[in-house]
Structure 1
Amino acid sequence: MGVANAQRALDYIRTITEFISQPEWKNLIPVFGIVNEALLHTIGRPQLTSFYLEAHDMIRGITGYGEGNGPYISIHDGFDGVPNWAGFLQGSDRIILDTHPYFAFDGSPNDAPIATGTDPSNAGGIWPKQACNAWGPSINTSRTAFGVTIAGEFSNGYNDCGLFLNGISATARYGGDCSVWQDSTNWNVTVKAGLMQFALASMDAMQDWFFWTWKIGNATSGIVEAPLWSYQLGLEGGWMPTDPRTAAGTCAQLGVDSAPFDGVFSAWQTGGDYFTRVNLELWAISACHDIECGCCGTCVLADVYRYGWVGDVDVYDSAGECVTPTPTPTVSVGNGWVDPSDTASFVTAVAGCTYPDAWSALSMPPPTAACTGS
């Protein structure tokens, strides 16, 4: 059933790729994570490599190759560590390596205090430096050895306390009292300062990341009972930064060299002329520092306007007059399928054949002969 499930997964990946690659949607979906946390050691590296190659070729057969032609393809490190993916599928088009660095699930009690002060030099106890040391060097080295590498998930969860975080009935490994970490209404300024410093150090070490998650709803108690995992609650409570860019330099301030990536990605890793275009746009924006905002409320140079990088924002023209682009009166939602030549059928069960349970067939003996159906 592994091969059958893989083929069915490719069909769904194909469907999603066709949808998000439509002109109406492609700029909204820059990255497509095709499989979340694939269990590499269960599946096998050769098998997973074959699957990713098959998925890559299928996706790029739909989108085309190069920057602007479909999303980046994100693959998870399979809990094998980013160093083991060095040199993977060289020459492929825009594959991202995604890692999910957490202390919460390392199997340790993680009961070292985080409420150790309010000054950035001592807030957070061991945890900010540990984030810098554990994640910065490996992720940034991977940017050289593999290519584009991101932390597709991380959180403030330095321990594994949180409602249902370990499942419905599992017990947390945290060595202290989890009830403290499931009710942020009692956190003092020292706790919040420690969490803030841990968040900033994590962001600085990873550089490119997604926080897991934006928002967690209230439990039946009326409060969020996994507050370490809610960015929104952290903003409201004061332990998450309103501007993540302030994280830059945190590891260096703590005396840790997290080896930030300062190289250049290969053209095949970023879609060819990606960096040329970005550098051009950044150059145009960089000259905007001395413009005062006026009636439009947005500061964008005429240079940017001439390059056509306007979108739906207001801009100043070279004469200083306020110009507002005319909005598009109607918006197409597409027909759901970008490539009309892609007409192959999906896999489906053969009528009259009996199949093992698709989700728990590992221990079952393989069939001795193929079923031909009714």
Structure 2
Amino acid sequence: MQNPYYKSGHRSGLDSTVNSEFDDNLDKYRELKTESFLGYLNRGNPEGSGSPVPSLPGLSERILHPEANYSATAYYTRETSEALNQPISTPNPSHYHPQHSANGFHRDPLSDEYRRASPATPFADTPTRDTRALTPLIIDPPTAISRHSHYTVGSGLGDSSETEGLRYSGMSFGDQPLRSRVNRNVKPSRRKRAIFIVCIVIVVCTCAIIGLVIGLITKNKGMNNDTDGVARLPRGDKLWGVGGDTITTDKGNKFLYNNTLGGTWVGIPYNDTARPQGNQPALNERWDYSVNKIIGVNLGGWLVIEPFIAPGLFDPYVQEQNPPSDEWELSLRLGNSMAKTIEAHYDSFIVEEDFAQIASAGLNWVRIPVGWWMIETMGSEPFLAGVSWKYFFRAIVWARKYGLRINLDLHAVPGSQNSWNHSGRLGTTGFLSGAMGIANAQRTLNYIRTLTQFISQPEFKRVIPMFSILNEPDVTLMSSKALVSWYYESYKLIREIGGIGEGNGPFIVIHDAFQGIGAGGPAKNRWSGFLQGSDRTGLDSHTYFAFTAQLSDVNATRPCNAWAARSNQTMEGFGLSMSGEWSLALNDCGLYVNNVGWGQRYEGTWPNATRPDRRFPKVGSCDQWLDHRKWSDAQKKGFADTASASQDALINSFFWTWKIGNSLRQDFPPNPMWNYKLGLEAGYIRPDARTSTGRCAALASEYQVPLTTYEWSGTLASWQTGGAGAGNISQSQIDAVGPFPPATILGGAPNGQGSYNTQSLPQLAPTGSPLILKPIPIVMDSKTYSGGDGWFNNADKAGFFAPINGCTYLDPWSGVDAPAPAACNSSSTQSKQQSTANTSPSPLRT
């Protein structure tokens, strides 16, 4: 049945024939009596290149051709010499991804099981920087047969003749000795002693070569490029594989990669060939925003700490009169133990296995919120400066390993963009509002510049192809004129760094500032037609039921009627539409969901029982929503249907959030309606998110209910995805947006209802030194790899915004009604206000 919310033909869905056909053929392949062994890596040359194909992963300064497209490893039978050159055939190979091997399956020699073939050999595509002149590394090893490892190295120079005595079939390394295929029926003639001696010499030399190659490769457990130009491979450790493999983490822990959806993993540094599921594009393949559906999850509460996601950090203070309710106050309350406690949270809350489980659940993107303190802090800001960068970089490594794309979300900025605790500090809004509103916005542009320079590098742009530049700005606390001018200033900055067109810098995502999405002119949707012609700009709307009219029933079609038509209208009227946050919460029941010590709308006690908000009368008790163990099977099915319907209706979406930490106050997981991981484990979220496609239409049929529908064309305009016309914004639109800084911003009167003339406000000047995030070296044992230098565009030489000598600056969180200090002269010299910048952490070990 066609999904009424968009043309299903324009969406890549799960091909149900793949898994069924895979199961049907297992028995057939198990009946094969011929012994299988690893054949050639049938590579050929990169398309359009006359150079020979490298046969080892290009790492560090030896990097492979970035556009090379090599075929996957194949398995052959040993029965006859003819069979050696014929892959095991598989019916209907077209069901599999076009870059899978032609035979579709491969056999694990240890388990005698057949798996779907891996994508193009994972070491065949490693990004290269345009400024480097690199020489491919080519090694042509002798024949070896592995019974253990998926990782292989071959000559890449074509097949050798079977009559050669030694046949190059690729090399891999396991626990068993490597064996050469030698024709044992050929014996030397006594009458041809000279020939015999020559043969002996050849054999001895060949064995010496084998020994030398094995010695070079197994000398170190890790991989590296030494000055001799030889990549050293680990003996007994896999560097890439598929579902069912045992993964060893950087801490030595092991877990099963339980991906049954055709996903692959690649542990080779800076290699982009992994894919989360079999029908999803690998990182080195094009993501088509008209066709490929983002089904993602947030890693909330990890690098920006929130009480309801990490309640155990706030529980010890909850009985105090004024308990901490944000990361700012928590950092102050922790005192001397702050650095140790916060980093312990970073280190344990999200680990590598989480990324593996995300890919195994049919999800293909992660949205990672970060705060500005990942880059630096200034003045009295109490956050742990720079340390979260180490863990964000780990996230890049893990996302790359499992083929997941990252939407980088700048979640918290100086001054706060909405006054809520997840902006770093609860209280007033000082971003584009109040006496420090312009200075805070200029400072935020510094951080956008730093992050853009990093993620635009070729080593990272395919893993982080999207940048959400500001989370949830509240336009009711700042003027819309000020916000759109800052959006356009950020857009120009990002495009000046990365360039115009697909693949040049990230897809830019702006939040709707709670103005909503949908169709119509400015009266209905302020964002329809905004910056038409802009290059790759998406609109994010956070779709929650929890904070409006409180609900007490699980109605799976509710998301379909609430969001589907609007999402499609936005895809048509604006461009890429997504929900960067949504959840299963029907109401605001939960531990610290509203804030530490606050009540619930559902129980009529919000914000507190003494003076509740009369707009939210009591609906009932929250008890039934707090503990998932009490939910009936019918309730669990209702939640599972609601989750699938939401993913279908929103088209592109990120659930908030992947996991919720434990609380010291209860012996069961808190906030289950916000916990995707728990939903998978407890059965109230389906195990494969890809099955959500078409769910709204199916539910409408099942429950016999009408749906609000709107069908878009199914294809974004070329300019909206970086094609023809991208970046052509008319001058009339630019004039309508206006310059940054705007002439006025809110503030300057009681409750911030007045306005400031921005020329009278303290501003920063572009005289500062650049803030550069350095890639963290990746270490395998004692060997180190690094990618890029943190700065993509060397032509970007303008100074960063910095304080001006002689200017008086208020606290960045000063009230919006604070009187403006004396105006600043932007031609003054830079002051020496102290900054605690990001320092380079120790290398990341893997």
Please give the TM-score of this superposition, normalised by the length of structure 1: 0.77
CA distance in 1, matches of 2:515, 2:788: 39
Instruction: State the partner residue of 2:679.
Output: 234
Q: Does the 8 A contact of 2:461 with 2:506 survive in 1?
A: yes
CA distance in 2, matches of 1:71, 1:330: 28
CA distance in 2, matches of 1:154, 1:95: 21
- 1:162-205 residue CA offsets vs partner (Å, 9 max, x unmatched): 21111112211112222322211222212201111111221111
Instruction: State the partner residue of 2:622.
Output: 178
Q: Does 1:244 align with 2:698?
A: no
Question: SS state of the match for residue 79, structure 1?
Answer: coil
Instruction: State the partner residue of 2:540.
Output: 98
Question: SS state of the match for residue 46, structure 1?
Answer: helix
Q: Given the superposition, is the C-alpha separation of residues 4 and 237 from structure 1 closer, same or farther in structure 2, using an over 3 Å criterion?
A: same
Q: Does 1:198 align with 2:642?
A: yes
With 246-255 and 256-265 compared, the bigger mean Cα shift is at 256-265
With 139-148 and 330-339 compared, the bigger mean Cα shift is at 330-339
Give structure 1 stretches of 5+ with no counterpart. Answer: 115-126, 275-328
Higher share in helix: 1
Q: Does the 8 A contact of 1:67 with 1:273 survive in 2?
A: no
Instruction: State the partner residue of 2:467.
Output: 32
Q: How far 1:368 sits from its partner (Å)?
A: 4.6
Question: SS state of the match for residue 58, structure 1?
Answer: helix
Q: Does the 8 A contact of 1:24 with 1:332 survive in 2?
A: no
Q: How far 1:351 sits from its partner (Å)?
A: 3.9
Instruction: State the partner residue of 2:185.
Output: none
Q: Does the 8 A contact of 1:140 with 1:259 survive in 2?
A: yes
Q: Given the superposition, is the C-alpha separation of residues 211 and 267 from structure 1 closer, same or farther in structure 2, using an over 3 Å criterion?
A: same
Amino acid at match of 1:95: T
Q: Does 1:150 align with 2:150?
A: no
Question: SS state of the match for residue 265, structure 1?
Answer: coil
Q: Does the 8 A contact of 1:100 with 1:152 survive in 2?
A: yes
Instruction: State the partner residue of 1:293.
Output: none
Q: Given the superposition, is the C-alpha separation of residues 241 and 259 from structure 1 closer, same or farther in structure 2, using an over 3 Å criterion?
A: farther
With 263-272 and 89-98 compared, the bigger mean Cα shift is at 263-272
CA distance in 1, matches of 2:819, 2:546: 37
Question: Which residue of 259, 283, 295 maps to 2:710?
Answer: 259
CA distance in 1, matches of 2:551, 2:708: 23
Question: SS state of the match for residue 223, structure 1?
Answer: coil
Question: Which residue of 424, 441, 444 maps to 1:9?
Answer: 444
Instruction: State the partner residue of 1:168.
Output: 596
Amino acid at match of 2:802: T
Instruction: State the partner residue of 1:132.
Output: 560
Q: How far 1:257 sits from its partner (Å)?
A: 4.4
Q: Does the 8 A contact of 2:584 with 2:642 survive in 1?
A: yes
Amino acid at match of 1:235: L
Q: Given the superposition, is the C-alpha separation of residues 273 and 186 from structure 1 closer, same or farther in structure 2, using an over 3 Å criterion?
A: farther
Q: Does the 8 A contact of 1:251 with 1:257 survive in 2?
A: no
Instruction: State the partner residue of 1:52.
Output: 487
Q: How far 1:260 sits from its partner (Å)?
A: 4.4
CA distance in 2, matches of 1:199, 1:172: 23
Q: How far 1:350 sits from its partner (Å)?
A: 2.8
Q: How far 1:330 sits from its partner (Å)?
A: 7.6
CA distance in 2, matches of 1:63, 1:222: 49
Q: Does the 8 A contact of 1:18 with 1:337 survive in 2?
A: yes
Q: Does the 8 A contact of 2:804 with 2:824 survive in 1?
A: no
- 1:188-227 residue CA offsets vs partner (Å, 9 max, x unmatched): 2122011111112211111110111111111112432111
Matched pairs, number: 306
Q: How far 1:258 sits from its partner (Å)?
A: 3.4
Percent same amino acid among aligned pairs?
46
Q: Does the 8 A contact of 1:13 with 1:34 survive in 2?
A: yes
Instruction: State the partner residue of 1:341.
Output: 795
Q: How far 1:331 sits from its partner (Å)?
A: 4.8
Q: How far 1:47 sits from its partner (Å)?
A: 1.1
With 260-269 and 135-144 compared, the bigger mean Cα shift is at 260-269
Question: Which residue of 533, 550, 558 maps to 1:109?
Answer: 550
Amino acid at match of 1:360: S
CA distance in 2, matches of 1:165, 1:248: 30
Q: Does the 8 A contact of 2:589 with 2:600 survive in 1?
A: yes
Q: How far 1:133 sits from its partner (Å)?
A: 1.0
Q: Does the 8 A contact of 2:657 with 2:676 survive in 1?
A: yes
Instruction: State the partner residue of 2:606.
Output: none
CA distance in 2, matches of 1:10, 1:369: 21
Q: How far 1:343 sits from its partner (Å)?
A: 2.3
Question: SS state of the match for residue 59, structure 1?
Answer: helix
Instruction: State the partner residue of 1:359.
Output: 813
CA distance in 2, matches of 1:37, 1:30: 20
Q: Does 1:269 align with 2:720?
A: yes
Q: Does 1:215 align with 2:671?
A: no
CA distance in 2, matches of 1:353, 1:330: 46
Q: Does the 8 A contact of 1:132 with 1:205 survive in 2?
A: yes
With 354-363 and 195-204 compared, the bigger mean Cα shift is at 354-363
Q: How far 1:356 sits from its partner (Å)?
A: 1.7
CA distance in 2, matches of 1:139, 1:51: 25
Q: Does the 8 A contact of 1:99 with 1:153 survive in 2?
A: yes
More relative contact order, 1 or 2 (CA 8 Å, 6+ apart): 1
Question: Which residue of 453, 469, 485 maps to 1:18?
Answer: 453
RMSD, aligned CA:
2.1
Structure 1 consecutive aligned stretches of length 4 or more whose deviation exceeds 4 Å? 371-374
CA distance in 2, matches of 1:213, 1:273: 36
Amino acid at match of 2:786: S
With 200-209 and 339-348 compared, the bigger mean Cα shift is at 339-348
Amino acid at match of 1:109: Q
Question: Which residue of 466, 488, 499 maps to 1:64?
Answer: 499
CA distance in 2, matches of 1:331, 1:208: 34
Q: Does the 8 A contact of 2:469 with 2:508 survive in 1?
A: yes
- 1:251-297 residue CA offsets vs partner (Å, 9 max, x unmatched): 223142432433321111101179xxxxxxxxxxxxxxxxxxxxxxx
Question: SS state of the match for residue 557, structure 2?
Answer: helix
Question: SS state of the match for residue 60, structure 1?
Answer: helix
Larger CA Rg, structure 1 vs 2:
2
Q: Does the 8 A contact of 2:806 with 2:824 survive in 1?
A: no
Q: How far 1:347 sits from its partner (Å)?
A: 1.8
Q: Given the superposition, is the C-alpha separation of residues 134 and 229 from structure 1 closer, same or farther in structure 2, using an over 3 Å criterion?
A: same
Please give the TM-score of this superposition, normalised by the length of structure 2: 0.35
CA distance in 1, matches of 2:648, 2:712: 11
Q: Does the 8 A contact of 2:541 with 2:579 survive in 1?
A: yes
Question: SS state of the match for residue 35, structure 1?
Answer: coil
Amino acid at match of 2:636: K
CA distance in 2, matches of 1:273, 1:186: 55
Q: How far 1:62 sits from its partner (Å)?
A: 0.4
Q: Given the superposition, is the C-alpha separation of residues 18 and 110 from structure 1 closer, same or farther in structure 2, using an over 3 Å criterion?
A: same
CA distance in 2, matches of 1:109, 1:345: 50
CA distance in 2, matches of 1:262, 1:88: 20
